[in-house]
Amino acid sequence: MSPTTHPEPIRLADYRPPVCEFEEISLDFVLDPDVTTVTSRLKVKTRSGAPETLALDGRELTLKSIKIDDRPLGRDEFQVDREHLTLIDVPSTCLIEIVTTIAPRLNSALMGLYLSNGIYCTQCEAEGFRRITYFLDRPDVMTRYKVRIEADLASCPVLLSNGNPVGGGKLANGRHFALWEDPFRKPAYLFALVAGDLACLEDHHVTRSGRRVALKLYADSAAIDQCAHAMDSLKRSMRWDEDAYGLEYDLDLFQIVGVGDFNFGAMENKGLNIFNTSALLARTDTSTDGDFQQVERIVAHEYFHNWSGDRVTCRDWFQLTLKEGLTVFRDQQFSSDMHSAAVKRIADVMLLRETQFAEDAGPLAHPIRPESYVEINNFYTRTVYEKGAEVVRMLHTLLGAELFRKGIDLYFARHDGSAVTCEDFVQAMADVSGRDLRRFMRWYSQAGTPEVRVTREFDSSTGSLTLEFTQSTPPTPGQQAKLPLHIPIRVGLVGRDGQALPLQLAGENAKGETARVLELTEERQSFTFVGLDAAPVPSILRGFSAPVRLRSDLTKDDLLHLLKHDEDAFNRWEAAQSLAAEAIVQAIRMSPQRQPVPDADLIQAYSRLLEGSIEQDHAFVARTLSLPGRSFIAQQLSVIDVDAMHRVFKTFQETIGRELEAPLLAAYRSMARIDDGSTRTAAMAARTLKNAALAYLVIGQPAKFEPLAVSQYRQSSMMTDRLSALRILAEIDGAAGASLLEDFYGRWQNEPLVVNKWFALQAGIEDYKSPERVEALMQHPAFTLANPNRVRALLGTFSMANLIGFHREDGAGYRLLADKVIELDSKNAQVAARLLTTFGRWRRFDLHRQQMMKSQLERILAVPGLSRDSYEIASKSLG
Ligand code: ARG
Ligand code: ZN
């Protein structure tokens, strides 16, 4: 065995501009599954104006020939190793021609050019272009692309690339070709090529300035009837970006292609987005309401990247949050304009707290702009994306909508066509507002979730309420000492009678506003509100105005008061969550000595919500009635006791289901009447509440309500209803579950995305038999490690969402995951490394489980030839 050499980290501090520019690249592809020939012609100009040594990136390429200005290079004029082609003394201006071959059929990493169900497609972000040809594969090298694609006409009638089609035709031997030109300079990570037998859905959009843009969605012919929702979403996104930001699309053609094998959701390649079919296809009989919303969101996200990402891109990969944080923020704004803003904010905050907060508290914690990485693919994280979006949101909160928009305008005007940094973004915001944002910049460099504590004091003699805030951030790996941050805290005061009170700070004139933003910049600060008759209940961190953990001294009565009266919908929901979380955490601490029960006040509050007099938005009611997520609760325990957690959640659900039988059943029936089977926001909301009620009812009294779930499964034609019913039936493990699971598979075995749901549902059933069940499912003929969606459905769900099954005390779940990570690592390192992140939580469990998880990490680290991806996650997890 060869000694293990550890890959070296790459550091932000080592950034140097590239030695040369490429004015233009012309790429010629002769497509073949086993030997695709790529000819690249680069118009080179060195920055120094003198000859330079040029180290081009390349991986898994077979080099055929190199010419400089038409002169073939001899063997001693260049060097090739596993990652580079180094050319010595390249003239200051010249034309380099490089011919390489690649094997798309053997490409299981799904980076570079690969085949998915016979369709050629590419994925170049972050560093996939170097698997296509030798190049300076870094985002600050922006080039104009001309592409020629040649392929077999029968198997590849459709040939696509970025920009505009400019020619093509038939060739001998049943081959044909197409020519594409992209007028916009772009970094290599935005290059795309697609070739195959694809069906097309066409439409168009007329921009605000009157230009007509052709819209084309491509998918397998069997799936093209599931593309209408994506097309609608695209048109809405294009309109929204014009209305909200004044940003128009800039080419005459916008294309999206869906492929079944894809490492993540989708990719914003200029003019040719490539999507995982799971983020593109939607039809009510095969997709849930959640899928519809996800498709809409991802279509919007990738479209919005055309400005925040493509027109203005990142200087280097450390700046990834510059485009991702901003684009996630934009897609959040879009979704909240399309549907219920409160429900959208709640969903986003839940995701942030359950996943990003956990990441920020573990061994993989990193700032939204990391300082170093071993493998950049490991940094497409909840922190870079979702916390990154929160940081942009805080700027929006601090500046207000109008100045924020001015800042965005200035940012795009200043930097259009270039590759920039996070400082450039914040500078634009500082320049339009005149604000000092230097302390705010710490959000980009400091990891960890800040904790904000607030206590209050009411002085009845002066009618004033003082809120005293302190902030601190716990240490994270490599960052022991933390500095205070600039934190916007949106607040309101709710009077004893439920009225929103005007907020007047001591020393200020009354303005009559009932909500305002306090700014924390120091470790300790206090604010005194005056003009109050009696002690109000403060409503703090409204709308979750900063990604922090808030610790307040609100009592149970205060929370019940806020749940009833707070004009901020987010904080009404938050009050219910806090009440439930408090009760659950207490019950877990007492378990198993005492039988856990939710308290009567909470049940009563739920009952009032269900009766529907207070809240109009049914999805909001459903969210508010739902218990907090497992991961959110786990973060509040010093040691995660999976068995106690499971028992407590189950008992809480059973009790709520039993005690609220009448209002739950009434809500179920009235929601079923509102539900018209459409995907309008109101119908989706009704289904959300209907299915939340069904789940409580069936868990509360399985024998009594199983038939209701069975009849919903059988009678509904909507996947949302079917899957909700099936999930609950499988979970209670009653008479119907097993046979309906079989029925479900039988109906949908030819729809890959539905088969994924079938795998995920079974992987997520929380019981002690799960490791064996998952093991058996891996033997199912429909299971394959080659498809990332399937791997995520079965192994991802099992390891992330099945607490008692995955963490079973004999370690069977851990062994199973590690076995598969090891098997996958040599095929698709990106997916393997992602699965591996669950083990990073090992310190949170009891010593016995810690030991078992740790030894699986050590076992993985000892694998000879382990990928950089998995090496980085495993070694940091142990570190
Ligand atoms: N830029 C894509 C998006 O957010 C995701 C690319 C993910 N790339 C990766 N190597 N993980 O829309
Ligand atoms: Zn993105």
Residue 55 main-chain phi, psi, to 5 deg: -105, 105
The bound ligand whose nearest atom lies closest to the alpha carbon of 325 is 2
CB distance 124 to ligand 1 below 6 Å = no
- Measured from the CB, is residue 143 less than 6 Å from ligand 1? no
Q: Which two tokens stand for residue 867?
A: 């990928």
Which ligand is nearest the CA of 129, by number?
1
Mean pLDDT of 185-192: 99
Question: What does 749-777 look like in DSSP terms, one character per residue?
Answer: TT-HHHHHHHHHHHHT--STTHHHHHHHH
- Best residue among 269, 294, 317, 380 to mutate for probing ligand 1's pocket (most ligand atoms within 8 Å of CB) is 380
Residue with CA nearest ligand 1 atom 8? 125
Residues 468, 413 share a domain = no
Confidence tier at 832 by pLDDT (50, 70, 90)? very high
CB of 324 shorter than 6 A to ligand 1: yes
> Residue 200: how many CB atoms within 10 A of its CB?
14
- The closest alpha carbon to 622, from 639, 606, 638, 640, belongs to 606
**Beta partners for 300?**
none
HSE at residue 317, side-chain half, CA atoms within 13 A, is 19
Q: Can you point out the beta strands (E) in 560-664? A: none
Atom of ligand 1 nearest to the CA of 111: 10
Distance 45 CA to ligand 1 centre (A): 30
Ligand 1 center to residue 471 CA distance, Å?
33
Which atom of ligand 1 is closest in space to residue 263's alpha carbon? 11
Number of neighbouring beta carbons within 10 Å of residue 813? 26
Q: For residue range 238-261, what is the model confidence (pLDDT) as tens digits?
A: 999 999 999 999 999 999 999 999
Helix (H) or strand (E) holding 123: strand 119-123
Residues 529 and 612 in one domain: no
Query: Both 29 and 166 in a single domain?
Result: yes
Calculate ∠ Cα 287-629-544, nearest 5°: 95
Q: What is the C-alpha separation between 71 and 445, in angstroms, rounded?
A: 48
Q: How many angstroms does the Cα of residue 267 sit away from the middle of ligand 1?
A: 6
User: Over 50: is that where the pLDDT of 798 sits?
Assistant: yes
- Residue 376 CA: nearest ligand 1 atom is 10
Is residue 2's pLDDT more than 70?
no
Same structural domain, 577 and 687: yes
Q: Which ligand is nearest to the CA of 322?
A: 2
Q: What is the pLDDT of residues 4-28, one digit of tens each?
A: 578 999 999 999 999 999 999 999 9
Out of 127, 131, 267, 375, mutate this one to test ligand 1's pocket (max ligand atoms within 8 Å of CB): namely 267
DSSP 270-290: TTEEEEEGGGT---TTTS-HH
User: Cα(804)–Cα(816) distance, rounded to whole angstroms?
Assistant: 14
Does the C-beta of 375 come closer than 6 Å to ligand 1?
no
Residue 768 Cβ inside 6 Å of ligand 1? The answer reads no
Per the domain annotation, does 738 fall within a domain? no
Q: Which ligand is nearest to the CA of 330?
A: 2
* C-beta of 125 in contact with ligand 1 (< 6 A): yes
Residue ID of nearest Cα to ligand 1 atom 3? 267
Q: What pLDDT shows up at residue 510?
A: 87
Q: Ligand 1 centroid to 326 CA: how many Å?
A: 14
Final residue of a domain: which of 197, 226, 260?
197
Q: Is 322 in the pocket of ligand 1 (CB under 6 A)?
A: no
Give yes or no for residue 1 having a pLDDT over 60: no
Question: Strand 451-459 relative to strand 549-552: parallel, antiparallel, unpaired?
Answer: parallel
Average pLDDT over residues 145-164: 98
CATH number, residue 664: 1.25.50.10
Average pLDDT over residues 587-607: 88
The answer to the question of residue 325 being in a domain is: yes
- Give the residue-averaged pLDDT of 745-769: 98
Ligand 1 and 126: CB distance under 6 A: yes
**Mean pLDDT of the 507-517 span:** 93
pTM, entire model: 0.98
ipTM above 0.85, yes or no: yes
The answer on pLDDT for 279 being more than 60 is yes
The reported pLDDT for the residue numbered 4 is 55
Residue written as token pair 């909301």: 685
- Ligand 1 centroid from CA 307, angstroms: 16
CATH number of domain containing 370: 1.10.390.10
Q: How many angstroms does the Cα of residue 878 sit away from the middle of ligand 2?
A: 30
User: What pLDDT sits at residue 848?
Assistant: 98
Cα–Cα distances in Å, from 232 out to 96, 189, 255, 274, 720? 44, 27, 14, 17, 20
Ligand 1: does its nearest atom lie under 6 Å from the Cβ of 274?
no
Residues 563 and 458 in one domain: no
Q: Which ligand is nearest to the CA of 266?
A: 1
Q: What is the pLDDT of residues 677-733, one digit of tens each?
A: 999 999 999 999 999 999 999 999 999 999 999 999 999 999 999 999 999 999 999
Phi, psi of 467 (to 5 degrees): -105, 125
In this structure, are 666 and 766 located in the same domain?
A: no
Provide the percentage of residues in the chain whose pLDDT is more than 90.
97
Is 415 exposed, middle or buried, given 0-12, 13-18 or 19+ CB atoms closer than 10 A? middle
Ligand 1: does its nearest atom lie under 6 Å from the Cβ of 161? Answer: no
Please tell me if the CB atom of residue 302 comes closer than 6 angstroms to any atom of ligand 1. yes
- Cα of 799 from ligand 1 centre, angstroms: 22
Q: Which atom of ligand 1 is nearest to the CA of 377?
A: 10
Q: Within this chain, do residues 486 and 609 fall inside the same structural domain, yes or no?
A: no
CA 505 to chain CA mean position, Å: 39
Same domain, 570 and 696: yes
683 lines ligand 1 (CB under 6 A): no
**Where residue 477 sits, what CATH number does that domain have?**
2.60.40.1840
My answer on whether omega of the bond before 592 falls inside 30° of 0, hence cis, is yes
Band of pLDDT at residue 613, cut at 50, 70 and 90: low
Check if 869 has its Cβ closer than 6 Å to any atom of ligand 1: no
Distance of CA 597 to the CA centre of its chain: 35
Separation of CA 380 and ligand 1 centre (Å): 7
My answer on whether 40 and 155 are in the same domain is yes
380 within ligand 1 shell (Cβ under 6 A): yes
User: Quick one: 751 exposed, middle or buried, by C-beta within 10 A (0-12, 13-18, 19+)?
Assistant: buried
Tokens 């309109």 map to which residue?
239
Is residue 377 in contact with ligand 1, taking CB distance under 6 Å? Answer: yes
By the 8 A CB rule, do 680 and 669 touch? no
Q: Is residue 482 part of a domain?
A: yes
Q: Is 267 in the pocket of ligand 1 (CB under 6 A)?
A: yes
Q: DSSP letters of 150-198?
A: EEETTT--EEEESSEEEEEEE-STTEEEEEEEEEEEE-GGG--EEEE--
Same domain? For 433 and 477 the reply is no
Task: Kindly give the number of the ligand 1 atom that is closest to the alpha carbon of 301.
Answer: 12
* Average pLDDT over the chain, rounded to an integer: 97
Using DSSP, state whether 430 is helix, strand or coil: helix
Q: Which of 164, 197, 230 is the last residue of a domain?
A: 197
Closest-lying ligand to the alpha carbon of 788?
A: 1
Catalytic residue from among 52, 302, 574, 766: 302
- How many domains does the structure of the chain reveal? 5
Domain-embedded: residue 291: no
Tell whether 385 is covered by a domain.
yes
Q: Is 302 a catalytic residue?
A: yes
**Residues 194 and 120: beta-carbon distance below 8 Å:** yes
> Which residue among 123, 125, 379 is best mutated to probe the pocket of ligand 1, counting the most ligand atoms within 8 A of its Cβ?
125
Residue closest by Cα to atom 1 of ligand 1: 267
pLDDT of residue 262: 98
Average pLDDT for 343-352? 98
For 316-335, the pLDDT digits (tens) are 999 999 999 999 999 999 99
Residues 172 and 81 in one domain: yes
CATH value at residue 174? 2.60.40.1730
Residue where one domain finishes, among candidates 143, 174, 197: 197
> Within a domain: residue 723?
no
- Whether residue 734 lies inside any domain: the answer is no
Q: Are residues 533 and 601 in the same domain?
A: no
**304 within a domain of the structure (yes/no):** no
Task: Kindly give the number of the ligand 1 atom that is closest to the alpha carbon of 324.
Answer: 4
> How many angstroms is it from 324 CA to the middle of ligand 2?
5
CA nearest 773: which of 751, 743, 795?
A: 795
- CA 792 / ligand 1 centre spacing (Å): 16
What domain range is 353 assigned to? 312-445
Ligand 1: which residue has its CA nearest to atom 12? 267
Q: How far is the CA of 26 from the centre of ligand 1 (A)?
A: 25
Q: How many Cα atoms sit within 13 Å of 387 on the Cβ side?
A: 30
Q: What's the average model confidence in pLDDT over 820-848? A: 98
